[in-house]
A and B are shown apart, each in its own frame.
Chain A
Amino acid sequence: MTAAVLPWAIVFLLINLGAGLWRAWKGPTDGDRLLTTLLFATTSVAVLLMMAEWLALPAIRTVALMLVLLATIISLAFFGMPERSPEEGSRARSAGEGDD
């Protein structure tokens, strides 16, 4: 019975992902946008693990493992990035340059 529900759970999580993209579009800060990549990483891992079970391909579990190993790269590359929201752009820029 669970095997029949599993692909529908995948569909549900994928729709969740699509909805989460709204936050990347809206912002308002760069941190908010980066949140979406966090959501994408966690949910992608869940979907990959479920696909491995659904398609009976254990190799896909290794993909999930690789994804969680490298998941922090984006946040690390982002850290120290100057904020560039319109209303306080100038202040943030000067603050950001000293940070690098």
Chain B
Amino acid sequence: MIDLMALVVLLAGCFFVFAGTVGMLRLPDVYCRLHALTKADNLGLLLICLSLALLDGRLRSTLLLLLVWLLALLASTVSAHLIARHSRARRPPTGKRQ
């Protein structure tokens, strides 16, 4: 039962990472791409961590996986902020395809 849950969550995680990549490749400008990539990817990472925690089952590993996810969240927040700020200083959002 737990194994099946882990499988479903793992596949969902892979789907969100995939969605993030598609968004990064297909969306029209750097702001949209940032938006798609950071949100979908971190949700995907959370689901993958959750699945791995279900597979492993020990509290120590679960906490470590949670810590990794929280740090990844912080890192991509700061990175996305810096990239967006840099882009806005050079080329403000227009809403049009570049």
Q: Is the CB of A49 within 8 A of B30?
A: no
Q: Is the CB of B68 within 8 A of A65?
A: yes
- A96 to chain B: which residues have CB within 8 Å? 90
Q: Is the CB of A2 within 8 A of B68?
A: no
Total number of B residues with any Cβ neighbor in A under 8 Å: 51
Size range of the chain A interface in the assembly:
35 or more
Per the bound structure, the CA–CA distance linking A83 and B89 in Å amounts to: 9
Q: List 26 A-B contacts (CB under 8 A).
A: A1-B4, A2-B4, A5-B11, A12-B14, A13-B17, A16-B18, A20-B21, A31-B84, A31-B90, A42-B17, A42-B72, A43-B41, A49-B52, A50-B52, A61-B64, A68-B71, A68-B75, A69-B71, A75-B79, A75-B82, A79-B86, A83-B91, A92-B90, A95-B89, A95-B90, A99-B89
A-side residues, CB < 8 A to B, are 1-3, 5-6, 9, 12-13, 16, 19-20, 22-23, 28-32, 34-36, 38-39, 41-43, 45-46, 49-50, 52-53, 58, 61, 64-65, 68-69, 71-72, 74-76, 78-83, 88, 92, 95-96, 99
